[in-house]
A and B are shown apart, each in its own frame.
Chain A
């Protein structure tokens, strides 16, 4: 996959090839590709002259550095107590129904992945969710469905 090779090389040129630049590079790949494929990880190892195990070990430590294929839009619903108390389960159910997938799954067209995440820091405006970097708060079932439907139709 020459595209990934080019991406890794350009990120390494941008951030540098030392160990301390590793997270920047991994974050850069996820931003483009939504996840770290085996090809990408070994390419990073080669480019930074590190073992693939070290790169993989670092990547898998971090929740946002996914090593499983993800959709173009990763939806993360906050599952921690305040959002739980305010009904995050209904929100998940509504999005599952809208996208016809279960929690943890990716739609067939690779557009959406639905996940839970730990406290996002919006407890006063829960339930909250992230779609990639974008934050949505004060969700109701209707509001969540409208937001996701808008992504389905317009993005």
Chain B
């Protein structure tokens, strides 16, 4: 069911940072009560994959271990996503507070923020805010947050690659299972959440699960921060209720000449104008970590796809063959078709290759190349050829 209208929400950036009071109130409750609230709210991970946050916390808390960790994934690298930067810049104490609540629930004494190298300029202010936060909560909980910098690798946003990187290794994804809730950072049970997810968890502690649950749809509860860019007169960061149709989105953000919207970044889906009406933004339709790129009719979708494939070819960690070779061949393939060196029908073979990558790649990177590849080639085939 689609929501009729686009509704702006002001939860995340609202300047209501009485974090200490909310933490005091939350810490006075039992861990089970807190987990039940997060479960009840229906909050799903805001990084894009959409795993229920309450379950992640519950599984980690239940796993027997001498040490557990909470990690904030701030390796925001998906093309078109820039909302975590704004959250960390504007309301860092809410992020820290969300981590503290999680730490209490799962029994973690240490938390980490893995911040992408491109955001190093945030570090001085973030360290300052973190120092103040540590002083403020010292008597409430034995919990320390450490900020660790990335060094320019998209794949490190994948959770197990992120652990490898934090352990001082190449950021190559691990085989799953075991999942992080059982074996994460240093092989200990670990909750790893997106920046935005942690803030929502904290806001649910503050306002209660019902206020969150009544927003959105049954599959996509609550609101979400969107990063809007491309051919739009009002590019920027917007918190919106989930469950709206893309048509409503384009009415608000398009420039009147929208040809397609890329939802979820290079790893996401391209939705052409004729499908805007029937497409819901959310887990029942097209999921997104927040990236919304609008393209108008002056844009060549071949160039868009080419740019994405160059991106994937470079960012593939090279560990597994389907992704390493697949990304190269898709790129070479569309270039050959465009130049007329291969017949148009070769695109079907490339589509098959992308399907194979989806099935056979080790991690989300290789598995999701097919999303943008097939949605662009299927909907804009003629632009790939002529």
Query: Which residues of A are at the interface with B, using a C-beta cutoff of 8 A?
Result: 18-24, 26-27, 57-58, 61-65, 79-82, 84-85, 117-126, 130, 133-135
Contact = CB atoms under 8 A, between A and B. Distances in A.
Q: Which 4 A-B pairs have the closest CB atoms?
A: A63-B152, A22-B168, A123-B229, A124-B235
Given A19-B168, A82-B293, A118-B314, A64 B228 contact: no
Interface in B68-87: 76-82, 85
Contact of A124 (B77, B154, B171, B229): B229
A93 B157 CA distance: 32
B311 A23 contact: no
B11 interface: no
Given A121-B119, A125-B235, 13 more contacts: A20-B167, A22-B169, A26-B151, A62-B151, A63-B117, A81-B230, A82-B79, A82-B230, A82-B293, A85-B230, A117-B152, A119-B77, A119-B79
B227 A123 contact: yes
Contacts of B170: 57-58, 61
Contacts of A62: 117, 150-153, 171
Given A121-B118, A130-B118, A80 B167 contact: no
A64 B152 contact: yes
A103 B230 CA distance: 25
A85 B82 CA distance: 17
Contact of B149 (A18, A27, A135): A27
A23 B150 CA distance: 9
Contact of B81 (A65, A117, A121): A121
Interface string B107-150: 00000000011111100000000000000000000000000111
Given A20-B167, A80-B79, A80-B307, A27 B152 contact: no
Given A61-B317, A124-B229, A134-B121, A20 B166 contact: yes
B308 interface: yes
A45 to B, nearest CB: 13
A26 B117 CA distance: 13
B134 to A, nearest CB: 20
A80 B303 CA distance: 11
